[in-house]
Amino acid sequence: MKTYFFTYCLSLLLATAMTPIVILWAQRRGLVDKPGARKIHTVAIPRVGGIAIFLGAILAILPVLALQNRIGTEFRAVMPEMMVLLLGSSALFVVGLCDDLKRLRIRTKLLAQCGGAILVCLAGVRIEEIVVRDLFTLELGRFGIIVTILWIVGITNAVNLIDGLDGLAAGISGIAAAVIAILALWQGNAVLAVIMLALCGSLTGFLLFNFHPAKVFMGDSGSLFLGFILAVSSVMTAAKSEALVGICLPIIVLGIPIFDTFFSVLRRYLNRRGIMSPDRGHFHHLLLKRGLKQHHVAMLAYAITVLVSGLGLTMIWTRSTASLLIFLLCLTLILIVFREIGSVSFRRTFEAIRARAGIAHAQRVERQGFEEACLNFNNAETFAQWWQSLKKAGNIFGCATISLSLKTRKGHLRLFVWQHEKNGNQSIDEAELIHLRIPIKDRRKGGLGRIEVGIPAQERSIESAGRRAALFTRLIEEHGLEMLPEMKKSRTKKAHEWETIDSKPAYP
């Protein structure tokens, strides 16, 4: 027990001592997070507090390697696995620090996370089976590698996304580290317990400066380091446990960031936005909108995490069937919390799914219509055929009217007009149309004209009308009049047929 107590206290003292130094250094170097539209804070705050978290944890772990006791011996016996864990989390810390110093692309950070997860799997740290003794044993085989990679990348990003409020990510991660340490001790895994206690102590010291009103943020250097080391540690507990608790407890204790990330990705997908794009629909944003203060939101998140973690820990002393019921109960409680704060609504979600499916169907139909229109234009060799293809395109894209203005060889302006058959002779309300004006080149050198199109905006949706307008523009650009074969110089009827087809004199 002395080693565990020493590790926790050392990391706590190191983080407490180094955080003010990091704050001062960041202020002098201008490494601060400035207020903005997507920020909650109103003053510039240093954003590289992850340095103190990282150093506090690592410097407390390394001395254990030299101890001449049982724990030190166990550390040296599993050196390959520990090196993968520590080096992988250190690499993610460096990537996060680079992002804090000079913004990196999301793709770069994601590749780094995937690379670290793959190295962990290659070192043999992966979930290979899920054992529920009273019910079944699920062998994952090679699929276990995919599950492990998705878990590590998912948890790393979940911790990163939840880091939007003073003390929120640090507090939840600290509780998670403590719970995983308890689970590791129950499994007899002293090495993992030491690592988690070092992380917990470092986060405790950092929270003294990160809790509202925050004097420092952990930044991506801290959130990526925390997310990766917690994810890999939870995989280690699951891989070394034959009980359901080894897999379920890490899911429960990280329930808030997991559910928040899942609902955020779902929300952005249904709204057709990038899944990594910022918004104000996160767990903490919704609670702030309800009038809670930042410290109230953080304390509520801590309380929920402690509650479900406490329930989850009872799985250690229960049989697999009861453990499964406790696990489902904890997930249900977390889901109820998210539903009550408005993060998820089943009715709105189903409506959004139907709307998304309808839009996808409309886009497929519109693309098919574009391909059909292209084939019609490809077969056109004369102006008459080209004009017929244009009218067919009007039907395909649901246009209300199409007018084509061209100059004759004598310099007169001719107007070709088409109106959708369903409109007949009825007048069309111009306010209901999206008007599109497209310049078009004639086959003759220097010959210019224009096409004007009216597309109903309310018949389907304004967005659909905009997509059809874009496709119509692309169609004219790819199959304009200049694409037709050159007209013969002889003054034959065929050479002038365009002057008499559906046309009438028009004046500029």
Read off the pLDDT band of 441 (50, 70, 90).
confident
Say what the pLDDT of residue 425 is. 53
Is 145 part of any domain? yes
Question: Alpha-carbon dihedral of residues 162, 20, 50, 66, nearest 10 degrees?
Answer: -130
pLDDT tens-place string over residues 151-202: 999 999 999 888 888 999 999 999 999 999 998 888 888 889 999 999 999 9
Structural contact between residues 330 and 311, judged by C-beta atoms closer than 8 angstroms: yes
| Stated pTM of the model | 0.81
Q: Are residues 323 and 442 in the same domain?
A: no
Q: Are residues 297 and 393 in the same domain?
A: no
Q: Which two tokens stand for residue 169?
A: 């990510």
Q: Are residues 309 and 376 in the same domain?
A: no
Q: Are residues 26 and 149 in the same domain?
A: yes
Is 341 part of any domain? no
Q: Which two tokens stand for residue 324?
A: 């499964």
Q: Are residues 162 and 110 in the same domain?
A: yes
Q: How many domains does the chain have?
A: 2
Q: Are residues 300 and 241 in the same domain?
A: yes
Q: Are residues 284 and 392 in the same domain?
A: no
Q: Are residues 358 and 327 in the same domain?
A: no
Last residue of a domain, one of 271, 297, 332: 332
Is 345 part of any domain? no
Is 337 part of any domain? no
Q: How far apart are the first and last CA of the chain?
A: 94
CB atoms within 10 A of CB 492: 10
Q: Are residues 205 and 61 in the same domain?
A: yes
In the predicted model, is pLDDT for residue 209 greater than 90?
Answer: yes
CATH of the domain at 455: 3.30.450
pLDDT tens-place string over residues 65-114: 888 888 888 888 888 888 888 899 999 999 999 999 988 888 899 999 99
Domain of 391, in residue numbers: 353-483+494-506
Structural contact between residues 390 and 404, judged by C-beta atoms closer than 8 angstroms: yes
**High-pLDDT (> 70) share of the chain, %:** 88
DSSP 251-302: HHHTHHHHHHHHHHHHHHHHTT--TT---S-SHHHHHHHTT--HHHHHHHHH
Q: Are residues 357 and 315 in the same domain?
A: no
- Structure-model confidence comparison of residues 301 and 505, the more confident one: 301
Is 339 part of any domain? no
pLDDT tens-place string over residues 347-391: 888 999 998 999 999 999 999 999 999 999 998 888 889 999 999
